[in-house]
Amino acid sequence: MAKTKGLGKGLGSIFGDDLETVLEDIQSGPQRQEGKVEIPVSEVRANPYQPRKKFDDSKINELAESIREHGVFTPILVRKSFQGYELIAGERRLRASKLAKKETIPAIVMEFSDQEMMEIAILENIQREDLNAIEEANGYNNLIERLGYTQEECAKRVGKSREYVANLLRLLKLPRSIQQLITENKISMGHARPLITLDDEGMAYDIACRIVEEGLSVREVERLVKAAKEKQPEKVEKKTHDYSYVVGVMENRLQTKVKVDNKQIVIKYSGTEDLNRILELINCIEE
């Protein structure tokens, strides 16, 4: 089976360029006929690093109708795995082919590492603007957590500013219920950013629901959040007492470990004989 090795010059040479065009060139250029093979649809698994979770069902249905009638013109990109293949690019075509009950699909088999797979999945979707803010934030978080990138390195990889990446990552601090509203495009990133500053998750969700129901502007949300924060009681730090002097005196007197905390005193002993010794020292044994 023919395999195409990488992108010729490697991924490093295409960061900052139009990755979508590069991938389309592989799928429709000279390599399309040279390396194209038919593989079973059932043996292709989705890219494990695919950040996009939502797909437009109506567009998938339209593509499925076209595939039923004309077949798949542009091969998908895959890499060989232990069991079958993993998808690199062409998820819509794969989903539509399954919907059209196709048994095989044209593909070009590439050789990519896990790192390249992850970067391609994120970069391709970002350049096509297919990701919502939460999906994009999760994609950046994967690059940082799985590949050990700093926010600055991640920003360079995806062609964004560090501030942009940092602001997106902050969205992941929001409760899942609010993240879901962003995913469904019911509230925007601009609406969500003020909500991050609220400590009360219930209050944040109440305001998020008002955004949806009342069509609030970002400025209106900022005013609501400011008012809510003014009403929130200030956190009072619990005073911690230093009992080190008392502990020192007792341990010196009893010759054993002593703990003084949370309105209680804990005295350690090693056995019955040691317990009797301590009880005698504190005058708890009757003559």
As a three-state string, the secondary structure of the chain is: CCCECCCCCCHHHCCCCCHHHHHHHHHHCHHHHHCEEEEEHHHEECCCCCCCCCCCHHHHHHHHHHHHHHCCCCCEEEEECCCCEEEEECHHHHHHHHHCCCCEEEEEEECCCHHHHHHHHHHHHHHCCCCCHHHHHHHHHHHHHHHCCCHHHHHHHHCCCHHHHHHHHHHHHCCHHHHHHHHCCCCCHHHHHHHCCCCCHHHHHHHHHHHHHHCCCHHHHHHHHHHHHHHCCCCCCCCCCCCHHHHHHHHHHHCCCEEEECCEEEECCCCHHHHHHHHHHCCCCCC
Catalytic, out of 20, 34, 38, 91: 91
78 CB neighbour count, 10 Å cutoff: 26
Using an 8 Å Cβ cutoff, are 44 and 84 in contact?
A: yes
Residue 62 a catalytic site member: no
Query: Rounded CA gap, 182 and 137, in Å?
Result: 11
Q: Are 3 and 110 in contact (CB under 8 A)?
A: yes
CB-CB contact of 27 with 75 (8 Å): yes
Residue 135 tokens read as 């999906």
Q: Which residues are catalytic?
A: 91
